[in-house]
């Protein structure tokens, strides 16, 4: 949403308006999807700033000459509606002892000021409901849908031009929507007429709002209503002292004693005459109105910027939480990848089925069991083996494929379990965990993907053997053993380190390594064997990483779908700085 900068606005004000519009746009783009500790407060802060900008700050900056809006607010049963009726000398709003009562807020204005409030210049989120002059008050309900999204407009000649009164819901209503709307309306006021009673002026909620008014430099008038006869001076003195302590010593204090309504059902005119006179004095000329508006506007901007800074802190916490979740994914899958590469380099793959099939492929188990003691006979056995007809290779290939596939699947599932465990310990991560888990491949799909990567690796390894043996001098030796046989020998050499084995397994696996290494060196030479081993390991490394990355992407995509913007904190801070700089320039500082 762009900010309208009316023609004729001074350069300084135009710069401030532009900066405020940019701040609003930045905040509109901010989200808090992770339900971490301060997320709810950050969302509320963001919405409050947006409401303040849209309902008051930007409209008032655009049109400083617009009528002042005095919001009449206070606690339940304080007499707000009764006071509004008395100020305009007619029944325009319903005063009721029934609580909670839900009704749309009422804005009363001079007939000549109707155009200022008919559009969405202020309160753009509230639909206008215009009531004809002289119509009876709109009755309250026990909870009518939609009234919290409406604003009732009434014209009254009893009000001076340049001043409007807004009867707001109770600030301490048991109805949540009433409280929220009351706070929104008060935040959009040029001045407050705060109504309390002799019995309730010490309540905490009114004082919290009055303290906020003092912090924001809002022009406030306090009405002490229903004061029993004989205690007026005492109560007035006590309340005035409290106001002084809270920084509101200059706020005018009006006392209305307990009294009987007149025949017209209104408070006696004399009882509200002092307040009427004060309001008329404020609205008497454009200079007075502008002075009030500027005072409240300056405080409102300061308050909005301070709260926007809290929103920036909230976005930083969202980013930090996102980074922690992403780090858990990275760590779990990096460890899984490391375990896979370790298992394929420390001899662990030469256990069980793989080792047994290799022994059957080359000759007999007795041969390998005697290798360590009879190394001198290895060359003779290799020569005999090369001259003979090699045994079928399929069983060895299948054993290796199955072993690798099982390893890949197990480590991928272990990484997923670790992420699940870590994310469940992070605040606000359960929803995104559910989304990520739903996106993980099924066990069947994971097994198929792992098998495809292993077959792809085996095919690439055999292709490498073929390319290396393209030299014609090697062809005869290759043919005597077979490409698949040499490929299996290369796999065995790659798996051959015995760091992960103990006892008899070391002797067997060590013998396996010797035979495979000698075999390959006899065909290709030692340098080529080293090169092929390195390339085969690198390819397996990449393929294992690809499989794990595909599964980790389920978590990463779920995080990305949250829409957390790591740059949001910096953008908010930049927008706040721009507003402050524009305001200093406007003031000539």
Show pLDDT as tens, one digit a residue, over the chain (589 residues).
Answer: 445 444 345 778 889 999 999 999 999 999 999 999 999 999 999 999 999 999 899 998 888 888 999 989 888 878 888 999 999 999 998 876 555 554 688 999 999 999 999 888 888 888 999 999 888 888 765 555 556 788 999 999 999 999 999 988 877 776 777 777 877 787 788 998 989 888 888 888 878 888 888 887 888 899 988 888 888 889 899 989 988 988 888 889 999 988 888 888 899 999 999 999 999 998 888 888 888 888 899 999 999 999 999 999 999 999 999 999 999 999 999 999 999 988 887 655 555 555 555 555 555 443 344 333 333 444 444 444 444 444 455 565 667 778 888 899 999 999 999 999 999 999 889 999 999 999 999 999 999 999 999 899 888 888 888 887 776 455 555 555 566 677 777 777 777 654 333 334 434 444 555 666 777 777 777 788 888 888 888 999 999 999 999 999 999 999 999 999 999 999 999 999 999 999 999 887 6
Beta partners for 165? 70, 108
Query: Could you tell me which residues come within 8 angstroms of residue 207 by beta carbon, excluding any fewer than 6 positions away?
Result: 242, 246
Reading the block at residue 525, the tokens are 């030479």
- For 277, other C-beta atoms within 10 Å of its C-beta total 10
**Does 6 share its domain with 115?**
no
CA angle 401, 402, 403 (to 5 degrees): 95
Residue 267: inside a domain, yes or no?
Answer: no
Q: Is residue 276 part of a domain?
A: no
Q: Indicate if 209 and 302 belong to the same structural domain.
A: no
Calpha distance 429→435 (Å, rounded): 10
Length of the chain: 589
To which H or E segment does residue 72 belong? strand 68-74
Question: Do residues 304 and 349 share a domain?
Answer: no
The confidence score (pLDDT) of residue 508 equals 43
For residues 579 and 16, the answer to whether their CB atoms sit within 8 Å is yes
Residue 443 CB neighbour total at 10 angstroms:
11
Residues 108 and 228 occupy one common structural domain = yes
How many domains, the chain?
3
- 329 domain-assigned: no
| 3-state SS string for 196-252 | EECCCCCCHHHHHHHHHHHHCCCEEEEEEEEECCCCHHHHHHHHHHHHHHCCCCCCC
Mark whether 544 and 569 lie in a shared domain: no
Q: Is residue 411 part of a domain?
A: yes
Let me know if residue 269 belongs to a domain.
no
pLDDT of residue 477: 53
pLDDT of res. 371 = 35
237 and 311: one domain? no
Handedness of CA 381, 382, 387, 391 (dihedral sign): positive
Q: Write out the two tokens for 448.
A: 């198929």
Let me know whether 390 and 483 are in one domain.
yes
Rounded Cα distance between 492 and 534, Å, is 13
> Residue 330 falls within a domain, yes or no?
no
Among 205, 227, 259, give the residue marking a domain's end.
259
Domain that holds residue 100: 68-259
CATH code of the domain containing 195: 3.40.50.300
- 543 and 400 part of one domain: yes
Under 8 Å between Cβ of 145 and 106: no
Residues 387 and 535 in one domain: yes
- pLDDT on residue 504: 42
Which helix or strand (DSSP H or E) is residue 301 part of?
helix 286-343
Q: First vs last Cα of the chain: how many Å apart?
A: 30
In a domain, 386, yes or no: yes
Do 62 and 73 lie in one domain? The reply is: no
Do residues 360 and 415 both lie within one domain?
A: yes
Q: What is the pTM of this model?
A: 0.74
CA-nearest of 414, 587, 579, 585 to 20 is 579
- Asked, for residue 518, whether it belongs to a domain, the answer is yes
Same domain as 378, residue 316: no
Report pLDDT for 397: 64
Pair 537, 494: CB distance under 8 Å: yes
Q: What are the angstrom distances between the C-alpha of 446 and each of 337, 435, 442, 548, 549?
A: 15, 18, 6, 10, 12
């Amino acid at each position: 949403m762009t900010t309208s900068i009316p023609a004729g606005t001074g350069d300084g004000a135009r710069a401030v308006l532009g900066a405020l519009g940019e701040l609003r746009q930045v905040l509109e783009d901010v989200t808090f999807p992770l339900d971490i500790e301060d997320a709810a407060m950050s969302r509320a802060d963001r919405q409050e700033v947006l409401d303040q900008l849209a309902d008051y700050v930007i409209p008032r900056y655009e049109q400083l000459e617009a009528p002042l809006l005095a919001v009449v607010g206070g606690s339940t049963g304080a007499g707000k509606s009764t006071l509004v009726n008395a100020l305009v000398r007619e029944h325009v709003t319903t005063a009721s002892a029934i609580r909670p009562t839900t009704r749309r807020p009422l804005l009363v204005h001079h007939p000549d000021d109707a155009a200022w409030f008919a559009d969405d210049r202020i309160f753009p989120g509230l639909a206008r409901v215009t009531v004809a002059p002289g119509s009876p008050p709109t009755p309250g309900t026990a909870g009518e849908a939609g009234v919290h999204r409406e604003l009732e407009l009434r014209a009254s000649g009893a009000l001076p031009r340049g001043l409007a009164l807004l009867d707001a819901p109770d600030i301490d209503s048991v109805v949540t929507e009433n409280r929220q709307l009351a706070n929104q309306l008060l935040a959009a006021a040029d001045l407050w007429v705060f109504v309390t009673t002799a019995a309730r002026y010490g309540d905490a909620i009114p004082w919290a709002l009055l303290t906020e008014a003092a912090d924001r430099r809002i022009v406030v008038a306090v009405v002490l209503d229903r004061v029993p006869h004989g205690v007026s001076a005492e109560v007035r003195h006590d309340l005035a002292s409290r106001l002084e302590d809270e920084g509101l010593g200059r706020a005018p204090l009006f006392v209305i004693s307990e009294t009987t309504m007149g025949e017209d059902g209104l408070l006696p005119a004399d009882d509200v005459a002092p307040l009427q006179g004060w309001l008329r004095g404020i609205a008497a000329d454009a200079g007075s109105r502008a002075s009030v508006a500027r005072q409240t506007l300056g405080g409102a901007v300061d308050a909005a910027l301070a709260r926007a800074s809290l929103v920036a802190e909230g976005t930083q916490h969202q980013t930090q939480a996102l980074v922690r979740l992403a780090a858990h994914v990275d760590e779990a899958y990096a460890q899984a990848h490391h375990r896979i590469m370790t298992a394929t380099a420390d001899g662990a793959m030469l256990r069980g089925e793989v080792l047994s099939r290799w022994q059957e492929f080359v000759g007999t188990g007795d041969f390998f069991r005697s290798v360590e003691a009879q190394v001198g006979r290895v060359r003779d056995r290799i020569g005999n083996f090369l001259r003979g007809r090699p045994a079928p290779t399929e069983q060895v290939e299948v054993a290796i494929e199955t072993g690798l596939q099982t390893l890949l699947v197990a480590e991928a599932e272990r990484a997923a379990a670790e992420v699940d465990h870590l994310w469940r310990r992070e605040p606000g991560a359960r929803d995104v965990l559910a989304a990520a888990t739903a996106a993980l491949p099924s066990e069947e799909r994971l097994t198929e993907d792992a098998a495809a990567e292993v077959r792809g690796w085996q095919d690439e390894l055999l292709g490498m053997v073929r390319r290396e043996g393209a030299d014609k001098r090697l062809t005869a030796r290759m043919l005597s053993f077979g490409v698949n046989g040499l490929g299996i020998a290369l796999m065995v050499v790659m798996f051959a380190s015995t760091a992960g084995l103990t006892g008899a397994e070391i002797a067997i696996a060590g013998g396996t390594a010797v035979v495979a290494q000698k075999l390959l060196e006899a065909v290709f030479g030692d340098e080529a064997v080293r090169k092929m081993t390195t390339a085969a390991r690198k390819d397996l490394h990449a393929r294992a990483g690809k499989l794990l990355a595909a599964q980790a992407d389920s978590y990463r995509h779920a995080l990305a779908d949250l829409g957390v913007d790591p740059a949001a904190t910096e953008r908010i801070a930049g927008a706040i700085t721009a507003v402050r700089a524009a305001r200093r320039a406007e003031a000539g500082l």
